[in-house]
Each structure stands twice: as C-alpha cells, then as structure tokens.
C-alpha cells in the first residue's frame, strides 16, 4: 500500500504582498523545496472550501520558501485572501512537469507572458537573470490589460537593466513611451527570431488564445514549432492523473504538463 | 469439476463467507428506475442468493463499490487533517466478465497512470476478489463484449451459473474450497465457467493508425448528429464500468464552527456534463454535445489504448441501456469505423 | 315512421338523439380508455349492421356508432350484452345484472384517461387500473359526474376541465449519496416544472412547498439519485367544465392524497349529490352542483368519514374564475 499523498501539509504564510486589485503574492514555508522545479504547481487547500492549483512563481531552496501569485476568483481563492501572515495554508505537491532549465541553456531565449501568465515563468526569468552567462541572449515580451494590472513592476525594472524587456498594455493610459497593443504585434521586432534557429527557444505563457496567436506569429517569423514551449491551462481537480478533468486525448496535463512543446501538442485540440 | 448447490445450500456458504468478506452483487431496487413503476438493478451488499439478479444485466456497474459515487476522503478538525477509514473486511463481488475487465481499466487509471497509485482506490481494490457470473450464451442485445475482447476473464476466485433453484459453481481459487467442504462429496457436477463467445452485435472497432487519421476523425461530420440528439446528461458515463472521472469538493459542517470541522469528498464527474472543464476567467473547452461525444468516444476506443495498450470500452452496452435518448454507442463505434476507413482511403488517394 | 320515441329514456340508455328523426348514436363506455383491440370489431359490427357504417371516437373516449334506426335499438342492446359484461362486470368488477337491456344509465359519464404510465415516460400512475377502480365507485349511478384521470401533471387528458379531475403524482425521494452534483434535475425542474430544486455545494435542496409532483427530476437524473415514491399520490381538481354559459378551469380540491383516500372521497359523491339534489338525479353538471352546495358544504360532505393520509392537503377555499359569456350572467334574483 502506498502512502496517502493527497493529504495536504500545513505551511505557514511568511509574507503577503498586494500586487494588483485582485492578486496577492504569498510566500509560504515549504519543507520540500528541494523537489521543486520552475513552472510546477501545487494544490492549495482551504479546509471546508476546497483545493485549487496554483503555480510556483518563485522559490528558495536555501530559505525553504515558495511564492504564489494568487488571483481572487472564487470559492477557495476568496478564502485564501482572508488568511494572514502566520496562518497555515495547507498544500500538496509539487506537481507537473515544469520548464527544463537545460533545454534553454546556451540558447537565445525569448519569453512571452500575458497577464498573470508571468507568474509561472517568473522563477525561470529570475534564474537566468541571476545566471546571464547560461544564455546566448535573453528577451522578454510582456503583455498586460492595463498599467494597473502590470505585476512584479519593480522586478521588471531590475530585469530591464540586464536584458531587453518589452511591456505592452491593451488599454493605453496615455503615459509617455508607453507601448500598447497585443504582444503579437511585437514578435517580428524581437532579436531572437533573427538568430540561427538551432539555438533559439521561445516560451509562451498566458491565456489559451494569446498563446495560440503568439505561437502562430513566431512560426510565421520562421521559428520552428519544436522550438516553442507553452503552458497549458486546464481545469484540474486531483493534479495526480486520476480525476480526468485535465485530459486531452491520451495526455494528462497535470502529469505531462502544464509545460508542453508546441509541436508535440499542436494536435491536442478540443 | 464443479459443484451444484441448491440456493439454500449456497446461502450457508454465503453466511460463512460473510464472516470474512463483505459480499456485493447486482441487486434489484424496486421502483427506482428512470420511469415510474420500473426497477433499477445496481450493486449492493447481499446476504442470500435470492438477492442477486442473474436474469438481467445491472443498470449500474460494479465500479461503485471501489469508487463510490460520493466518498469522503478526509476530515478536517482544528487545523488537522485525518484520512477517512473504510471497513476492515475483504470484499467479494459477483460480477460479469465485462465488469471484471472494467476493473482492469480502472486499475490503469488509478494504479498505473502516474508513479503513485491512488491511495483511496488501492485501499479497496486490494481487498477485492471476484465471483464470476456466467452470462446467457450471447449476453443481451446491447452487449458487444466479444468485439471488444472483454468477453472472457480468468480473474475470479469462484464462478457461478444460476439455474434458478440452484447454482453451478466452479472453485478456481482453492482458498475458497474450505467454504464448500461439506458439499464436496455429494454435490459434484460437471461445471466450468463459460464465457460468451458470440454476441448478437458484432462490431469492428476503428483502428486509428496515424495522427492525421485522428485529426480528420475529430473533424468528421459524423459527430454533428449528436448536437441534435444528446442532451448531455451523463447517464452513459455514470453507469459505465470504465468511466472513472471525479471532482473533489469540500463540505464545512457548520459555518460558525470554531473548529473548522468539515470533510473533503470525491464525487463522480462526467465529461458530458456542463462544468467539467470550466476555468477561471470563464473559459470552457468542449461546449457542444458533439464535441463531448467525440471526446468520450475517442477515449473509449482510442486514447486509453494509446496510453495503456487496451481499449477502455469493455462492450457491456450499459451506456445504450441507460441513455434516455436511445443513442447507441455500439452504432457510434460502427460509424467511427466507417469514417476511419473512408479517411484512410482519402489519405491513400491524396498521397498518390 | 313512428315519431313517438322517448328520447330521454333512450339517452339514459346511452343512445344519443340524431338530427335525423328516428336515428340514434350508441356510446360504448371504455372506462380508462384502454381495452383490448378486439373490441374494435364490436363497434365495427354495430356500425356496419345497424348504424350508417361510420364510427366516431367519442370526445369522452367512448366508442360511438351513429345512424342507428330506432327499430334496431333492442337488437343493439342485445348485442352489447357481452361487451358490457366483459368490460363493466368482469374488468371493473361492477355489481350489476347482465341482460339485454343495454346500459342502465348514462349518469356517470365514461371515465376519460390518458395512456398513463402503462406506456408514457412521463406518467406517474397507471390510469387504466385506477379508472377501473373508480368505475366501480361511480357506475351505474344516475347522478351525473364527469371524471378524468391524468397520469401526470402534464394533464394531457384535461383533468382540469371536468367535475373530478384526478392527476397522478409522485413525491420523489432523493438519495444524496448517489448524486453527482450535476444540477440537471434542478435545470429540468426549472425548465419544465416549477423550479423548486437548487444545487447547493453539489447537493440538492428542495422547497417542497411548490413541487407539482411530476417526477421530471427522477427521469432527468443520470445516476438514479432520485426515485419515484413507492407510494403514489394524487391531486384532485374539481368543478372544471365547458359549456355555453360559464366555462371554467377546475381548481385544486385535494393535493397529495393516496389512492385509498381518493376512493374514500369518491365514494361520497353519491350521497353528496343525493343530499344536494334531494334524492332527485337531475341532469346537472358536477360543477354546478358544487356551486349549488357551496364549496364548504361540498368539502364537508365529500370528506365525511375520510381519514386523510399525513401528506394530504385540502383547499381551504376556492376562487373560481369563470368565463362569463354574458357579463353578470351570475347575477340573479335571490331564490326565495
Ligand atoms: C496548473 C495550474 C496553475 C495555475 N496557477 C495559478 C496561479 O498561479 N495563480 C492563480 O491565481 N491561479 C492559478 N490557476 C487557476 C486556479 O487554479 C483557479 O483560479 C482556481 O482553482 C479557482 O478556484 P476557486 O475555488 O477560487 O474558484 P471557483 O469558485 O472554484 O471557480 C471560479 C472559477 O474558476 C474556475 N476553476 C475552478 N477550478 C479551477 C481549476 N482547477 N483550474 C482552472 N479554473 C478553475 C471555475 O470554473 C470558475 O470559473 C492555475 C490553474 C492550473 C490548472
Ligand atoms: S449519449 Fe445519452 S446518456 Fe450519454 S450524455 Fe448523451 S443523452 Fe445522456
Ligand atoms: S440530476 Fe441527479 S445527480 Fe444531478 S444534481 Fe440532480 S440528483 Fe444530483
Ligand atoms: S487534474 Fe486530475 S487527472 Fe489531471
């Protein structure tokens, strides 16, 4: 008999930072950080209300913490917003296959994130920000609804000092130098697409339609589909390949994903 | 060599078995059918042969015993979590070949779909042994277990065939011989479990041999018909012996309670039913009946096989038995087969 | 042609006067509307031997043969002796003499019924079996009464438009442990019935107050989490009628009564009519009879010695809504 791996463990909330009107950043103590990879997720519990899948947005093995950017949208996330520093937030995980750092090392890497899609790639960005020598070049293209919804502003400012970052908003605020419009408009201007395609990798994370159109734009600009990585969004209930909610064809997003190679999964439509 | 016991004699055996085993079998629930004055046959604990329905295929499958429609998996109290308990007894299930093969498909998902087997499934599954019920020679008119190669099973401890007043019994697992010791001398007969070797329905399952065939089948017009016919009720999945999807949800016992007492449950879910794929932000995949039908049908006769090697569908025909709109899954399989053959021809033609 | 025909006597004998002098239409009772198809040969024989060769499906589900000459009435009555015996005495168990005199009365009209749950997926009760039991309570009686049995609240047989409209009901029983929380029962209830179900944290909550007892939730449920109650229940609509003066839809008299209660209530119809009509079986629509008595008197007499089941509900008062074809038709000189 295997152990019951579905029981959540109590994790103390270390810090809560208000990020946008409906998003908070939570830092929690987590004993098994050594098992964590960029782009994975955990199942957070509020007993009596339920569970929800939340991506790891950053982690520290030395200090044993994880960070989550949580958007308040319903039953469980509303309850999480009632918690305070020092409270316990039970959770289980980590789950899923995240981003494989080795895939991108020594390459020209472009990361495109839409809205809170930045959260699951944040730790990857931070990794290469701290280890710039591991990449040939690095570019960031970030799209948000409006300036109020730009998350991790101060970190973006830090990143910009080291590598090119394009931030664009759907709804202009009128500020000078502001870039507006959808991320797809900026794809053809990226330097990454001018490189030798053998050493290019592209990561796209955001709402399903944004990922689809952005991937198509990269392909139009000569990036082979095998060089594009996306993070699938699916409803999940168990996160361990049992409940069936996240299945597409023979693939279980919670097990084989959420990060997939675009070419390998282009046929997974439903 | 087998035994033939009167129902009364077999009831003595059941009484002895029940000291160690919780015994389940298809049982009649009078007037619990879909329409008034109709019955429902589903699995439940039994104590005597007379409780067992042999002459009719059960409406619901035996999966409910191992994956109950609602199951409490843990309790919360004062910030602590405690897993739910189940009864200690071993489990014996009277089941048909399709049901027993259905458990293999459930095993694929719950025990083999990731490195870690499912704790809640496994704790019951480990206790289960089967008593195979012999079917009428061709099964029933909606059965197609021969076409899905799930007509036979060797995974049983005992096998039985009812003659009405008595039971013919094959003892396969000799651990069970002791329960029949009194009868071993005087009640012998020639009996060995006989699988169904031919159904009235004979199907050819579609063989989807390339990504292109699959994509074209997904886009095939054959699915459109179900937008008009299927009401997306999920009856066909609730009673399917191989459908295993569930949703987890919590219950809080008292809203004002200081202790935060509550429980977490699993509840059967269905890909035909609204909400199955709803996501924050309002996005839903597969909103139409046709898309949901395609998703289910391909899972049954293709996707599961891609992942685990065996088709999921065990040909029991229960989906057809319970569909209020008389949509026949066996007919759908036939249509898929025809469509796939036509697609293959088109592809051949295109490549020339 | 002898025109001295007692048409009133013939009407009581179930022969209806024709506009063609000396011709009549026989009406054979089919209590509860379902009989063996072989009886079609009976009406065919009558129509082709004594009638004009045509056949009318009666508006109250009788088998009718028009165009029967007065001189053949006795022959027809002799011929239908077996039919009456098989239907009324044998199938309905009525205690009456079998003879060649035809139907003894037209007072209580044929009991109309929909096909009910012997066939229909919506039906809650077997309307034919109930009709045969009811026939025994109301026939043969000279007191007028029109009864109508519907298998479910869809009321296809229009129980809302007769003296006594009986509607088959169920009080569905919910088994939360079988519920998958899909909410389909609630959606269907809202769409086709009264919307008394609500999905609250994956389980159903029901407001029994406005349940119509149709059973749609049971057939909608994919997992058998609802079951029809083992006990059948009935709603009784009273006083519905059509007609030239004041047609109206019947109103609810009883709700959720069991069959035993229903039969006990109907048994009182005879004595109620006799009391109000002072033992003279006049031809007066049941609805008018109830009006004559007043609802409260009607209720008192109809529920006399009836022991109601615990679920039963009785109307405290009734507010009729009539279509008055001439305004103020109900305003009359007080009866001295
Ligand atoms: C792999 C993965 C990673 C995610 N990462 C994050 C993250 O980093 N930050 C974040 O804020 N959110 C993330 N989500 C989405 C998050 O899981 C849902 O917003 C959350 O489950 C909603 O739960 P709730 O109880 O608050 O809302 P509910 O009251 O349950 O529902 C509100 C809305 O959310 C939908 N929903 C419910 N459960 C899920 C689910 N499991 N997945 C998607 N939608 C759901 C409902 O259909 C409804 O539309 C992630 C989801 C997945 C699958
Ligand atoms: S196929 Fe039939 S049983 Fe299945 S969801 Fe559609 S209508 Fe319901
Ligand atoms: S239809 Fe059945 S399973 Fe669905 S909510 Fe209603 S009772 Fe529950
Ligand atoms: S979330 Fe349950 S199978 Fe993927």
B234: nearest CA partner in chain C: C222
C173: nearest CA partner in chain B: B32
How far apart are alpha carbons B297 and B268 in whole angstroms? 18
User: Which stretches of chain B drop beneath a pLDDT of 70?
Assistant: 255-257, 352
A95 contacts in B (CB within 8 Å)? none
Is B27 in the same domain as B122? yes
Q: Does some domain include residue B98?
A: yes
Is C192 an interface residue toward B (CB < 8 Å)?
A: no
8-state DSSP, A242: -
Considering only residues C178 and B184, tell me which one the structure prediction assigns the higher pLDDT: C178
Chain center to CA of A266: 20
Chain center to CA of C227: 27
Q: Does some domain include residue B262?
A: no
Q: What percent of chain C has pLDDT over 70?
A: 99
Q: Phi then psi for A189, rounded to 5 degrees? A: -90, -5
In this structure, the strands spanning A228-231 and A200-205 are parallel
A117 has a pLDDT exceeding 60: yes
**Tokens coding A18:** 């208000």
Q: Does some domain include residue B335?
A: yes
The DSSP-derived string for C167-222 is EEE---EE-GGG-----HHHHHHHHHS---EEEETTEEEE-GGG-----HHHHH-T
CATH 3.40.190.10 for domain A9-95, yes or no, is no
Is B171 in the same domain as B33? yes
Strand partners, C199: C204
- Within the 92-151 window of chain A, which residues sit less than 8 Å (CB to CB) from chain B? none
Q: Does some domain include residue B250?
A: no
Rounded to an integer, the average pLDDT of C10-29 is 96
Domain range C112-170+232-314, CATH architecture: 2-Layer Sandwich (3.30)
Task: Please name the chains neighbouring C, where neighbouring means 3+ C-beta pairs under 8 angstroms.
Answer: B
Chain B nearest-CA distance from A183, in A, is 20
C11 has a pLDDT exceeding 90: yes
How confident is the model at residue C1, as a pLDDT? 55
How far apart are alpha carbons C294 and C276 in whole angstroms? 10
How far apart are alpha carbons B229 and B248 in whole angstroms? 30
How confident is the model at residue C283, as a pLDDT? 82
Is B169 in the same domain as B318? no
Long-range contacts, stretch B86-91, CB < 8 angstroms, 24+ apart: B86/B123, B86/B124, B87/B22, B89/B20, B89/B21, B89/B22, B89/B127, B90/B20, B90/B21, B90/B22, B90/B127, B90/B128, B90/B129, B91/B21, B91/B22, B91/B24, B91/B65, B91/B124, B91/B127, B91/B128, B91/B129
Is B101 in the same domain as B143? yes
Question: CA-based diameter of chain C, in Å?
Answer: 80
Give the pLDDT confidence of C245-258 residue by residue, as tens digits. 889 999 999 999 99
Note the CATH number of domain C2-92: 3.90.480.20
The H or E element that residue A127 is part of is: helix A118-130
How confident is the model at residue B338, as a pLDDT? 97
Q: Given an 8 Å threshold on Cβ–Cβ distance, is B234 in contact with C220?
A: no
SS3 C134: helix
- The Å distance, Cα A52 to ligand 1 centre, comes to 6
CATH 2.40.30.10 placement within chain A: 9-95
pLDDT confidence bin for A67, thresholds 50/70/90: very high
Q: Which of B136-140, B345-349, C70-74, C96-100 has the lowest mean pLDDT?
A: B345-349
Is B12 in the same domain as B59? yes
**Tokens coding C278:** 């002072």
B83 contacts in A (CB within 8 Å)? 4, 7
Q: Does some domain include residue B174?
A: yes
How many domains would you assign to chain B? 2
CATH 3.30.70.20 for domain C174-226, yes or no, is yes
Best CA proximity match to B266, nearest among B129, B127, B120, B96: B120
CATH 3.30.470.20 for domain A101-268, yes or no, is no
Give the pLDDT confidence of B112-140 residue by residue, as tens digits. 999 899 999 999 999 999 999 999 999 99
- Ligand 3 mutation target, pool C221, C224, C227, most atoms within 8 A of CB: C221
Strand partners, C57: C63
SS3 B327: coil
How far apart are alpha carbons A268 and A261 in whole angstroms? 11
How far apart are alpha carbons C205 and C203 in whole angstroms? 7
Structural domain that includes position B135:
2-68+86-183
Is B176 in the same domain as B225? no
pLDDT confidence bin for C198, thresholds 50/70/90: very high
How confident is the model at residue C330, as a pLDDT? 77
Is B156 in the same domain as B232? no
CATH 3.40.50.80 placement within chain A: 101-268
The residue written with tokens 């843990």 in the block is B74
C-alpha angle C138-C140-C143 in degrees, rounded to nearest 5: 65
- Ligand 1 mutation target, pool A42, A45, A47, A73, most atoms within 8 A of CB: A73
The DSSP-derived string for A12-25 is EEEEEEEEETTEEE
Burial A81-101 (b: 16+ CB within 10 A, else e): bebeeeebbbbbbbbbbbbee
B123: nearest CA partner in chain A: A1
**Tokens coding A65:** 């913490």
CATH 3.90.480.20 placement within chain C: 2-92
Q: Smallest Cβ distance to B238: which of C223, C228, C230?
A: C223
Radius of gyration for the alpha carbons in chain A, expressed in angstroms and rounded: 18
List the residue whose alpha carbon is closest to atom 2 of ligand 3.
C221
Task: Please name the chains neighbouring B, where neighbouring means 3+ C-beta pairs under 8 angstroms.
Answer: A, C
The complex scores an ipTM of 0.95
How far apart are alpha carbons A228 and A261 in whole angstroms? 6
Q: What percent of chain C has pLDDT over 90?
A: 89
End-to-end alpha carbon distance in chain C: 46
The residue written with tokens 């869809």 in the block is C154
Is B95 in the same domain as B147? yes
> Which of A8, A47, A97, A254 to mutate to probe the B interface, most B CBs <10 Å?
A47
| Residue B135: CATH number of its domain | 3.40.640
pLDDT confidence bin for C327, thresholds 50/70/90: confident
CA distances (Å), origin C191, targets C184, C188, C196, C217? 10, 5, 11, 11
Q: In what order do the strands lie in the sheet with C313-314?
A: C112-113, C147-150, C164-169, C233-238, C251-257, C313-314
How confident is the model at residue B282, as a pLDDT? 77
Q: Phi then psi for C116, rounded to 5 degrees? A: 70, -170
Q: Average model confidence (pLDDT) for chain C?
A: 95
C-alpha angle C220-C223-C228 in degrees, rounded to nearest 5: 60
A48 has a pLDDT exceeding 90: yes
How far apart are alpha carbons C103 and C85 in whole angstroms? 10
The residue written with tokens 């009264």 in the block is C194
- Neighbouring residues of C18: CB distance < 8 A, sequence distance ≥ 6: C24, C25, C66, C67
Is B156 in the same domain as B280? no
pLDDT confidence bin for A264, thresholds 50/70/90: confident
């Amino acid at each position: 008999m295997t152990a019951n791996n579905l029981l959540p463990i109590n994790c103390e909330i270390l810090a809560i930072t208000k990020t946008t009107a409906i998003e908070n950043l939570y830092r929690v103590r987590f004993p098994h950080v050594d098992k964590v990879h960029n782009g994975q997720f955990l199942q957070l519990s509020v007993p009596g209300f339920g569970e929800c899948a939340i991506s790891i947005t950053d982690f520290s093995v030395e200090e044993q913490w994880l960070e989550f950017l949580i958007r308040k949208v319903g039953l469980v996330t509303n309850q999480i917003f009632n918690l305070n520093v020092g409270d316990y937030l039970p959770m289980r995980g980590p789950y899923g296959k995240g981003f494989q750092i080795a895939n991108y090392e020594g390459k020209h890497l472009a990361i495109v994130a839409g809205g809170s899609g930045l959260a699951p790639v944040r730790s990857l960005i931070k990794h290469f920000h701290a280890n710039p020598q591991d990449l040939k070049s690095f570019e960031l293209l970030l799209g948000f609804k409006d300036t109020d919804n730009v998350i991790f502003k101060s970190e973006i400012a830090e990143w910009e000092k080291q590598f090119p970052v394009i931030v664009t908003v759907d709804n202009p605020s009128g500020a000078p130098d502001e870039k507006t419009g959808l991320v797809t408009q900026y794809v053809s201007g990226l330097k990454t697409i001018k490189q030798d395609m053998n050493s290019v990798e592209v990561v796209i994370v955001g709402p399903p339609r944004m990922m689809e159109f952005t991937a198509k734009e990269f392909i139009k600009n000569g990036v082979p589909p095998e060089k594009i990585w996306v993070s699938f969004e699916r409803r999940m209930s168990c996160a361990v390949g049992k409940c069936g909610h996240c299945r597409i064809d023979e693939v279980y997003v919670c097990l084989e994903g959420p990060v997939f190679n675009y070419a390998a999964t282009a046929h997974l439509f439903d | 060599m087998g035994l033939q016991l009167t129902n009364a004699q077999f009831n003595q055996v059941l009484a002895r078995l029940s000291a160690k085993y919780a015994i389940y079998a298809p049982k009649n629930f009078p007037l619990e059918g879909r329409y008034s004055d109709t019955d429902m046959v589903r699995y439940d604990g039994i104590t005597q042969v007379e409780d067992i329905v042999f002459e009719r295929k059960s409406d619901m499958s035996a999966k409910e015993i191992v994956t109950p429609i609602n199951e409490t998996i843990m309790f919360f109290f004062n910030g602590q979590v405690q897993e739910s308990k189940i009864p200690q007894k071993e489990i014996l299930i009277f089941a048909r070949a399709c049901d027993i093969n259905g458990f293999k498909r459930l095993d694929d998902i719950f025990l083999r779909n990731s490195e870690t087997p499912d704790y809640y499934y496994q704790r019951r599954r480990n206790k289960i042994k089967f008593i195979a019920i012999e079917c009428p020679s061709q099964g029933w008119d909606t059965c197609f277990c021969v076409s899905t190669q799930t007509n036979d099973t060797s995974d049983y401890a005992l096998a039985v065939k009812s003659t009405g007043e008595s039971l013919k019994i094959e003892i396969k697992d000799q651990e069970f011989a002791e329960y029949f010791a009194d009868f071993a001398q005087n009640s012998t007969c020639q009996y060995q479990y006989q699988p169904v070797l031919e159904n009235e329905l004979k199907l050819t399952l579609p063989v989807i041999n390339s990504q292109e065939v699959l994509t074209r089948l997904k886009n095939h017009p054959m699915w459109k018909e179900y937008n008009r016919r299927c009401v997306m009720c999920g009856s066909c999945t609730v009673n399917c012996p191989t459908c295993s999807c569930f949703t987890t949800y919590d219950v809080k016992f008292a809203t004002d309670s200081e202790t935060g007492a509550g429980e977490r449950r699993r509840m059967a879910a269905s890909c035909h039913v609204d909400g199955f794929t709803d996501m924050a932000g309002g996005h839903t995949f597969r909103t139409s009946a046709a898309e949901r039908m395609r998703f289910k049908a391909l899972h049954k006769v293709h996707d599961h096989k891609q992942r685990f090697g065996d088709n999921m569908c065990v040909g029991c025909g229960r989906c057809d038995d319970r569909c209020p709109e008389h949509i026949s899954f066996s007919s759908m399989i036939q249509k898929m087969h025809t469509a796939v053959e036509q697609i293959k021809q088109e592809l051949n033609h295109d490549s020339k | 042609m002898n025109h001295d025909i007692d048409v009133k006597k013939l009407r009581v004998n179930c022969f209806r006067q024709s506009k063609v002098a000396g011709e009549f239409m026989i009406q054979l009772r089919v209590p509860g509307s379902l009989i063996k198809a072989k009886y079609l040969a009976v009406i065919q024989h009558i129509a082709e031997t004594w009638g004009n060769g045509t056949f009318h499906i009666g508006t109250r589900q009788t088998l009718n043969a028009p165009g029967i000459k007065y001189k053949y009435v006795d022959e027809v009555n002799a011929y239908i002796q077996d039919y009456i015996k098989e239907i009324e005495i044998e199938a309905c168990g009525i205690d009456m003499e079998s003879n060649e005199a035809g139907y003894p009365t037209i007072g209580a009209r044929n009991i109309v019924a929909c096909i009910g749950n012997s066939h229909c997926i919506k039906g809650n009760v077997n309307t034919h079996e109930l009709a045969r039991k009811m026939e025994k309570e109301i026939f043969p009686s000279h007191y007028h009464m029109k009864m109508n049995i519907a298998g479910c609240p869809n009321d296809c047989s229009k129980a809302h438009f007769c003296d006594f409209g009986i509607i088959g009901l169920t009080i569905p029983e919910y088994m939360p442990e079988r519920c998958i929380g899909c909410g389909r029962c609630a959606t269907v209830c809202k769409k086709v019935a009264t919307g008394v179900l609500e999905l609250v944290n994956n389980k159903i909550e029901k407001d029994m107050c406005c349940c119509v007892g149709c059973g749609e939730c049971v057939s909608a449920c994919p997992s058998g989490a609802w079951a029809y109650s083992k006990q059948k229940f009935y709603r009784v609509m009273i006083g519905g009628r059509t007609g030239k003066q004041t047609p109206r839809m019947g109103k609810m008299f009883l709700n959720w009564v069991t069959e035993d209660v229903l039969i006990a209530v109907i048994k009182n119809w005879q004595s109620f009519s006799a009391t109000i009509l002072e033992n003279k079986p006049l031809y007066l629509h049941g609805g008018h009879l109830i009006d004559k008595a007043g609802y409260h008197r009607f209720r008192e007499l109809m529920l006399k010695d009836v022991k109601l089941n615990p679920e039963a509900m009785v109307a405290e008062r009734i507010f009729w809504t009539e279509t008055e074809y001439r305004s103020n038709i109900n305003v009359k000189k007080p009866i001295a």
